[in-house]
Structure 1
Amino acid sequence: MSGILQGRVAIITGAGGGLGAAHAKVFASEGCAVVVNDINTEAAQSVVDEIIAAGGKAVVNSSDITNYDDSLNAIKQALESYGDLHIVLNNAGVNRDRMFASMTEQEWDTIMAVHLKGHFCISSHAVHYWRGRSKEGKPVDARIINTTSGAGLQGSIGQSNYAAAKAGIAALTLNQAAELGRYNITANAVAPSARTGMTSAVPEMAERMAKPEDGSFDHFAPENVSNLLAWLASAEAESVTGRVFEAEGGRICICDGWRTTAGVDSGAAWAPAEIGAAMKALLAEEVPAQKVWGT
């Protein structure tokens, strides 16, 4: 198979279903050899079988992305199977939705482990591999692609754990881009809006995102997001780094992050009683943030 990812090798986490499976199939259709990572090996094997049947290259990997030592095996498998690694696409995720006042420690920790730590583990080992190649004078053209969410960019009622983890992933992406460019590694994140197993489990979302029966453009097809990620993973995207994108249907946006305003400056320490007037001036000049989802 030929395409913009011909000759490249990717690890895609959580690729046994939903967005991850779509990413794996689109990447493979563009010529990429794919390590399909998922703890559900049966689901991962089904994706691999479909890719191979279509003429692509793929293998199953069941490394636990929340376990630092075990996640190294994904990198080892990529190198043993295909001789190199160019792309880590961090996609795996779970939900443990709960209002903050009712959230348990376990619900908090599970989301942080799968999303935030999960984005760290495999990427860390991949970076060690790429940095080593760079120091040896070998060519590196590597990609880290992270998955954030509108919940992380603006908050989401009933998802404080998920929102906090996804916000952390956005900030992590900026740091990775700033630190890893010297090794020819780019880092970008995407906040997708697409039909997945998680959205299908919510009746109102399932109805809104349903595939049209009339054959018209499938706005919420996960492949719409995958196509952007395939381009970001390609050699053509070598100069694009440190960005957070939103992708929905045929629309691609760059998310404009936190920015410092001009502010007010007294030139000296504020007395507590003086801050009320300063705050009034600050709030009068602010550009309101996007509203938290669900408000």
Structure 2
Amino acid sequence: MTLLEGRIAIVTGAGRGIGRAHALELARQGAKVVVNDFGVSLGGEREDSPADAVVAEIRALGGEAVANGADVADFEQAAAMVDQAIDTFGGLDVLVNNAGFVRDRMLVNTSEEEWDAVIRVHLKGHFAPLRHAGAYWRAEAKEGRQRAARVVNTSSGAGLQGSVGQATYSAAKAGIAGLTLVAAQEMGRYGVTVNAVAPVARTRMTEGAFDTSQMAEPEDNAPIVAWLASEDAGDVTGRVIEIDGGQICVELGWAHGPKRDIGRRWRTDEVGPALRDLIAEGPDPEPVYGAR
């Protein structure tokens, strides 16, 4: 029996790159997969969705898959996508939120439209499928049919350490890391684990932004996601895992550091010296990607 035999999964943004690799690996491990891809160019224009091609690849491997063209940031379309998995395969066990795009620009050159588009696709595009999948898993648990459900979100080193020229993308990916932590706590009672990966790979999103010649392949990320999607991963939740080729790293994120309590309200003239002392006591922050 393969690792994900009989499990039912949705992978968003699965037509190309990292999402495609996830969908194929989940299928190789025995999962039935809803392959979601909205079908847009890097510039945001609609184009033919590659989801059907990925479904054909999965079926050629002997697996089961169906295509889905939902805009995952549309609340009702996200609900219909979850319903498609349930109606087609009889349930849902795994949600891999991967869909996204970039509008890289220095902060002072970023337009309101660019900000709204990136935040919508990444952050709302994670919330909407998670919201509907979570409601299904809660209902199943209340009916005595609790599933060993798994969510794998997609953050980024840009969201964890920051990235020059990617303020909007970094903000969205940081939000996804925060969403992951809260969802893991709230949904654990229903048998759901929620983790995030921060993948590194050469894809059409990264090509052209910087030198990608030495970057890892999309397929390097898929085995980690496949394991997190398994029943065996039930003791791992609320984690963000960075993947860079053969290296995996458990990110530590924000944590309480040095502190001082004077037992009363601070005077303004006391704040500067105290904060400088506390900063000196703690570790230096990770450098922002692209900083010099």
The TM-score range, normalised by the shorter chain, is: over 0.9
Give the unaligned 5+ runs of structure 2.
40-47
Gaps of 5+ in 1: 210-219
| 1:20 corresponds to | 19
Counterparts in 2 of 1:263 and 1:223: CA distance versus 1, 3 Å: same
Instruction: Determine if the alignment matches structure 1 residue 64 to structure 2 residue 71.
Output: yes
- Secondary structure at the aligned position of 2:221 is classed as helix
Take 2:78 and 2:116, find their aligned partners in 1: how far apart are those partners? 19
CA distance in 2, matches of 1:283, 1:188: 30
Letter in 1 for 2:80: N
Distance 1:131 1:56, change over 3 A: same
Q: Which residue of 1 aligns with 2:196?
A: 189
Q: 1:233 aligns with which of 229, 233, 241?
A: 229
Task: Report the counterpart of residue 150 of structure 1 in structure 2.
Answer: 157
**Per-residue deviation, 1:149:** 0.2
Letter in 2 for 1:230: A
Q: Which residue of 2 aligns with 1:208?
A: 214
Greater per-residue helix proportion? 1
Superposed displacement of residue 224, structure 1: 1.5
Which one-letter code corresponds to 2:231 in the other structure? A
Secondary structure of 1:287's aligned partner: coil
Distance (Å, rounded) in 1 between the aligned partners of 2:198 and 2:74? 24
Residue of structure 2 equivalent to 1:92: 99
TM superposition shift of 1:260: 1.2
Deviation by residue 1:240-278 (Cα, 9 ceiling, x = unmatched):
101110111111111001111231222222211122221
User: In the alignment, does 2:264 pair up with 1:252?
Assistant: no
Shift of 1:123: 1.1
- Aligned to 1:260, the other structure's residue is in SS state coil
Residue 48 (structure 1) aligned with residue 44 (structure 2): no
Shift of 1:279: 2.1
Alpha-carbon distance between aligned partners in 1 of 2:141 and 2:110, rounded to the nearest angstrom: 44
* TM-score normalised by the chain length of structure 2: 0.94
Secondary structure at the aligned position of 1:80 is classed as helix
Does 32-41 or 224-233 show the bigger shift?
32-41
1:214 counterpart residue number? none
Q: Distance in 1 between matches of 2:281 and 2:191?
A: 40
Shift of 1:203: 5.5
**Is the aligned partner of 1:279 residue 2:275?**
yes
Counterparts of 1:151 and 1:81 in 2: how far apart (Å)?
36
Q: Secondary structure at the match of 1:197?
A: coil
Partner of 2:29: 30
Q: Percentage identity across aligned positions? A: 48
CA gap of 1:276–1:43, structure 2 versus 1, over 3 A, is: same
- TM-score, normalised with respect to structure 1: 0.93
82-91 or 32-41: bigger deviation: 32-41
CA displacement 1:70-112 (0-9 Å, x = unmatched)? 1111111111211110011000010011111111100000011
Residue in structure 2 matching 1:101, options 91, 103, 108: 108
The one-letter code matched in structure 2 to 1:266 is: I
Query: What amino acid sits opposite 1:49 in the alignment?
Result: A
